Amino acid sequence: MRNVGSFALIVTIVISLYTAYSFYVGNKVRKGEKQQKAGNDGIIWQFASVTIASLVLFVAFITDDFSFGYVADHSTPQMSIFYKIAAFWAGHEGSLLLWLWMLTGFTALLAFLNRKNDRLTNIALYISNYIQLFFLITLLTATNPFRAVELGVPLTGVGLNPLLMHWAMVLHPPTLFMGYAGLTIPFAFAIAALMDRNASSDWVNRAHKWTLFAWFFLTIGIFLGALWAYVVLGWGGYWAWDPVENASILPWFVATALLHTFTMYRRRGGMKLWAVSLASLSFVMCILATFITRSGLLADVSVHSFPELKKDLTILFGGLMLVVGGLTAYLISIRSKEFETQEFFSDFLSKHFTYYLNNIALVAFTLIIAGATVIPPLFKKSLGVEFYNRLAEPLGILYLLLITICPYLGWKKTEGNNLLKQLAFPAGVAAIAAIPLYLEWGSNLIGFITMVVAVFSMTAILELFYLRARARAKSRGVGFASGLFSIFRFSRSQAGGYISHLGMAIMIFGIAGSMLYVQDIPASIRPQPGEAVWASNYEFKLKEFRQTTRPGQQVNHVVFEMRDRNDGYKLIREIAPKMVYHEVQRRQVLEAAIHYEPLRDIFVVFNGVDKQDNLLLNIKINPLISFVWIGSFILIFGSIIVMWPKAVAVTQEETAGAESGKKPARRRKGALAGAE
């Protein structure tokens, strides 16, 4: 079976080379439609052969075939089917195969839909084919998932890292790779447009939906990673500026800037060089993220990175980034005239200017984080959390203000008095909210300011919905609810963008509270029933300390009765943090117990026993953390609305045509088309 998997990858390389030749010849000869069609077919056949290779590895995990070294490293017969499937992408070999499979699937879909043999799409597939060839060569030479088992590895397998045995971590890598593979397509279209000297919005229209798709899955992946870190790692937080955490957010920042740039490109014909540059940078950040996680270069400073240093992966991924960066820079230098636009700002209070600030802020933040993540570890150093927080806190406030004010601005100029009038209500709400916020959260100035700005942002975005809905209702002579509904029906890009911004504001409100106002309460008690520790208004009275066994696990349970001191010591619930020793992996894992409340979480961790046999505990009170999760859901929901197919309004002429039996061409009604 191992030979079948390796042979399938070798066949894919042959097909990839044939595909590259077909596209090249088809582009050079006068009537190259036949060769271009062969190239499209080659892309589809690559997906088929990579699927066969992936199925071989999948079956090996399901059937416990430990002749595969990769299977032996990440699975055991005792693991459930769910975790055996997850073990497919637990290591760098399987995760890169998963990325390749997804990428070939996306390009195969693009080739299948390319029925008109479109020139721009053909060039994009030509570029994507070389990316696929790179991954094929990498898999066969540097990180082969079909290698034989090494001597000394147990015949029953080593098993999955216990920290990864959680549903959120099972889904986290595939969603991120969906984003990484998805961002390859906009990059390919950008290079295709440069090569073809095609500065029209044609490539943007094709790349936009792929960018949205990739951004959507990157958002979900980052959310799942944060959720996993919170409930599994036992430290009470969800983001620690770890190098691997930073790696996941770098392409997200650039993709966010790219989506905003596409709006300028499509609607105003501007920011063309920005668009092709950001499309390339987003792909480079995907490669960098993979490099950070899977090369092992940063293993000494990251709890998430793969432990062993892979020099061959380091060279390959580093070389790819240099090639992509060099190719993009070269093409931009020789195509700058075709993609040049006369960018001007008649007023600083304009959408034009805020879109530029948006890009500058996101790209600057990306490059600073990338440099701070990669460069210091090369010298066996690392920058602490404080560095990133000091950078993120003021930039987060300024960026939130930027995305809040932008929709109120005109494209070229905005009257300052009108802007102040429109923002007077949100500012008033924020000023009123500042009083209770200061009384409760005024101990930290930056946190207090962040919360006030977040309230201002939330109110301003909700006001936008009100103003747009009222205007639509008035223009059509319908009720307010109908006007609001029409925004979601006919202006989904606009409505989804507003909702995503609202989710961002809610999330930043929660981030400020959950990161800047955490109460950390270490405690030590004797292992005798009735012993108690107090945190906030709660008493944690020890009920029992017991040891149990599960298959392959030894579990220490610390069971507390959680009582409310402000309510006559009323029993709220039992809460039981655990410490689990996994015998096969020889690893000890903490299982935190979390009591969820609307405005805070009570997080309890059992850290073991000291030399005097006392139980060591750590209790954290995490305020407003629910706003982080709620804001994330709203952010994701907003992107779903943007991606949802747009409704087409039926005009009176169409209605009349239908009544007369004719079938006129459908067209958008201008008043209902909304913002793209």
Range of weakest confidence among 324-328, 342-346, 383-387, 409-413: 342-346
Number of other CB atoms surrounding residue 307 within 10 Å: 8
Asked if residue 619 and residue 608 are part of one domain, the reply reads: yes
Asked if residue 376 and residue 240 are part of one domain, the reply reads: yes
Q: Which of 494, 344, 349, 351 is nearest to 411 (CA)?
A: 351
pLDDT over threshold 90, residue 294 = no
Over range 373-395, report the average pLDDT: 83
Domain that residue 467 falls in: 415-517+630-674
78-82, 201-205, 336-340, 656-660: range with highest mean pLDDT: 201-205
Over range 213-229, report the average pLDDT: 94
Range of weakest confidence among 128-132, 290-294, 454-458, 544-548: 290-294
* Residue 43 neighbours by CB under 8 Å, 6+ apart: 19, 104, 107, 108, 110, 111, 125, 128, 129
Asked if residue 469 and residue 434 are part of one domain, the reply reads: yes
Q: CA–CA separation, 531 vs 38, rounded Å?
A: 76
Q: CA–CA separation, 590 vs 606, rounded Å?
A: 7
Higher pLDDT among residues 204 and 552, named by residue: 204
Confidence of residue 343 (pLDDT cuts 50, 70, 90): low
**Chain length of the chain:** 676
pLDDT over threshold 50, residue 45 = yes
Confidence of residue 346 (pLDDT cuts 50, 70, 90): low
User: What pLDDT was estimated at residue 298?
Assistant: 64
**In the structure encoding, which two tokens stand for residue 26, read together?**
């088809």
Asked if residue 545 and residue 485 are part of one domain, the reply reads: no
Q: CA–CA separation, 192 vs 119, rounded Å?
A: 9
User: What pLDDT was estimated at residue 621?
Assistant: 94
Asked if residue 263 and residue 148 are part of one domain, the reply reads: no
Asked if residue 510 and residue 421 are part of one domain, the reply reads: yes
Average pLDDT, the chain: 88
Asked if residue 438 and residue 356 are part of one domain, the reply reads: no
| Residue range 422-463, pLDDT digits in tens | 999 999 999 999 999 999 988 899 999 999 999 999 999 999
Asked if residue 637 and residue 604 are part of one domain, the reply reads: no
Q: How far is CA 71 from CA 2, 170, 296, 320, 537, in A?
A: 11, 16, 20, 28, 49
Domain boundary residue, one of 101, 128, 161 = 161
pLDDT over threshold 80, residue 672 = no
Number of domains in the chain: 4
Q: CA–CA separation, 98 vs 174, rounded Å?
A: 8
User: What pLDDT was estimated at residue 661?
Assistant: 46
Over range 13-35, report the average pLDDT: 90
pLDDT over threshold 60, residue 309 = no
pLDDT over threshold 90, residue 91 = no
| Residue range 624-662, pLDDT digits in tens | 999 999 999 999 999 999 988 765 544 444 434 444 444
33-37, 211-215, 523-527: range with highest mean pLDDT: 211-215
Domain boundary residue, one of 350, 383, 406 = 406
Confidence of residue 28 (pLDDT cuts 50, 70, 90): confident
Domain boundary residue, one of 106, 134, 161 = 161
**Percentage of the residues of the chain whose pLDDT score is greater than 90:** 61
Asked if residue 466 and residue 396 are part of one domain, the reply reads: no
Asked if residue 529 and residue 508 are part of one domain, the reply reads: no
Task: Provide φ and ψ at 555, rounded to 5°.
Answer: -120, 130
Q: Is 130 exposed, middle or buried (0-12, 13-18, 19+ CB in 10 A)?
A: middle
Q: Which of 548, 539, 626 is nearest to 581 (CA)?
A: 548
HSE-CB for 409 with a 13 A CA cutoff? 20
Q: Is 374 left (phi over 0), alpha (psi -120 to 50) or beta?
A: alpha
Asked if residue 376 and residue 484 are part of one domain, the reply reads: no
Asked if residue 503 and residue 362 are part of one domain, the reply reads: no
Range of weakest confidence among 253-257, 344-348, 632-636, 649-653: 649-653
User: What pLDDT was estimated at residue 667?
Assistant: 39
